[in-house]
C-alpha cells in the first residue's frame, strides 16, 4: 500500500468512526404547523429538521431531494409535484406541494446537514387538501 492510499484509508476509517458517533439517524423531520392552501391547488408545507439529542431545530440544511406520494393511503404510485422553497426560519423548511387528491401524503426528504457526512433522510406524513 502506498502512503497516499494508506492516508486515504485512515481518513475513511475516521469518517466512519465519526458517523458511528453522530450520524444521519440523529435527526428527524417533523411537520411544523398546518399546511397552507395556495393558488392552483397547491399547498405550502413547513417541515422542521430537529436534532434528536437536544430537540433543537437544525438551520442551514440543504434539501437535495423531495418526493410526495400517497403511500399512507396504500397508493405509493400516486405522486405529486413538490419543490423546496428554502428555509423560512432557522431549522424550518418550506415546500410547495400540488396534490392531485386530498388526504394523507408522505413527504420524503433528503438533506445535507452542516458538519454531517451522511445524507439525512426522513418522511413526514401530512394531510393535504386538494
Residues that bind Cu ion (CB under 5 A): 70, 75, 78, 101
What is the smallest separation between the CB atom of 72 and Cu ion, expressed in angstroms?
9
Distance, in Å, from the CA atom of 99 to the CA atom of 84, rounded to the nearest integer, reads: 15
Instruction: Please check whether residue 56 is in contact with residue 91, taking contact to mean a CB–CB distance below 8 angstroms.
Output: yes
User: How far from 116 is each of 1, 35, 63, CA to CA, in Å?
Assistant: 29, 29, 13
C-alpha cell at 101: 387528491
**Least distance (Å) between residue 68 CB and Cu ion:** 11
Pick the closer one to Cu ion by CB: 14 or 101.
Answer: 101
CB nearer to Cu ion: give 59 or 79. 79
Considering the complex, state which of residue 93 and residue 105 has its C-beta at the smaller distance from Cu ion. Answer: 105
- CA–CA distance, 30 with 32 (Å, rounded to integer): 6
Distance in Å, CB of 105 to Cu ion, minimum:
8
Amino acid at each position: 500500500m502506498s502512503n497516499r492510499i494508506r492516508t486515504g484509508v485512515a481518513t475513511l476509517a475516521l469518517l466512519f468512526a465519526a458517523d458511528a458517533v453522530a450520524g444521519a439517524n440523529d435527526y428527524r423531520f417533523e411537520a411544523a404547523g398546518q399546511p397552507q392552501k395556495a393558488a392552483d391547488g397547491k399547498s405550502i408545507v413547513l417541515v422542521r429538521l430537529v436534532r434528536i439529542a437536544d430537540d433543537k431545530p437544525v438551520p442551514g440544511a440543504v434539501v437535495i431531494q423531495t418526493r410526495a406520494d400517497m403511500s399512507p393511503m396504500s397508493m405509493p404510485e400516486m405522486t405529486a409535484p413538490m419543490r423546496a422553497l428554502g428555509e423560512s426560519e432557522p431549522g424550518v423548511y418550506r415546500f410547495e406541494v400540488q396534490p392531485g387528491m386530498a388526504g394523507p401524503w408522505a413527504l420524503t426528504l433528503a438533506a445535507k446537514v452542516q458538519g454531517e457526512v451522511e445524507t439525512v433522510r426522513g418522511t413526514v406524513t401530512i394531510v393535504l387538501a386538494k
